Amino acid sequence: MTHIKKMPIRPSAAEVEAVAKFSPATIHEAQGRRGALSSRIKPVDYRMKLCGPAFTVRCAPRDNIMLQLAINYAQPGDIIVVSAGEYEEAGSFGDVLANACLAKGIGGLVTDSGVRDTMQLRELGFPVFSLSVCIKGTVKETLTATNDAIIIGGEVVHPGDIIVGDADGLVVVRREEAFEVAKLSQAREDAEAEYIAAYKAGKSVIEVSNLEPVLKAKGLLVEG
């Protein structure tokens, strides 16, 4: 049965903006080292960043008909998140569909399949995170569903979760946790700023990280 469903609960602009201030690495650490998608899924250009609500879609391997439907029904700012069975040998998205996304104001694409036309994608600046780069074409055959919970990169992503990505990778934040995660992320950034200031003031990494009791308990001996 094919279901084209809207995002059931859409995060507010304030929730998206709250987490958009922070890097995926900071968010991952701040929320208890949760939510990081597989490091195999990378941006096609290191300058690409994205943050927005996940418009989820399942695609059959080597088939992009549902991706095209997702582009048709997604709203401005949405991040289309595609679960396609970790199929690397297909170029399911390229410059033509990227232009369709830009025309609609879609915020980015995350897929566990392949993409192509990467030079053009870089020139367009549309944020694309993919498992591979592959020139092989796709079919348009299998209808599935949009906006169900999916598994991608080893993580469950629900429609309306917030996806954040940069050169280092991707992290998912549950919509209902957005403000708390932003608060924890800010606290982590503040602490890291204090560490950097301490290093610049001449303190050692052992002092700053309070490693002496840990090293002593482990029996570290410094010779010479």
Helix axes 178-200, 13-20, angle to 10 degrees: 20
Q: Which two tokens stand for residue 49?
A: 């960043």
Residues 6+ apart with CB under 8 A from 152: 37, 41, 81, 82, 83, 110, 111, 112
For residue 117, say whether it is annotated as part of any ligand binding site.
Answer: yes
For residue 94, say whether it is annotated as part of any ligand binding site.
Answer: yes
Residues 6+ apart with CB under 8 A from 222: none
For residue 148, say whether it is annotated as part of any ligand binding site.
Answer: no
For residue 67, say whether it is annotated as part of any ligand binding site.
Answer: no
Residue 37's nearest CA partner among 163, 138, 187 is 163
Report CA dihedral (151, 116, 123, 46) to the nearest 10 degrees.
50
For residue 188, say whether it is annotated as part of any ligand binding site.
Answer: no
What is the Cα–Cα distance from 86 to 154, expressed in whole angstroms? 10
What is the Cα–Cα distance from 109 to 55, expressed in whole angstroms? 9
Q: Which two tokens stand for residue 143?
A: 């209808």
Q: Which two tokens stand for residue 94?
A: 């390229």
For residue 116, say whether it is annotated as part of any ligand binding site.
Answer: yes
* Binding site feature residues: 94-97, 116-117
* Binding site feature residues for Mg(2+): 117
* Binding site feature residues for substrate: 94-97, 116
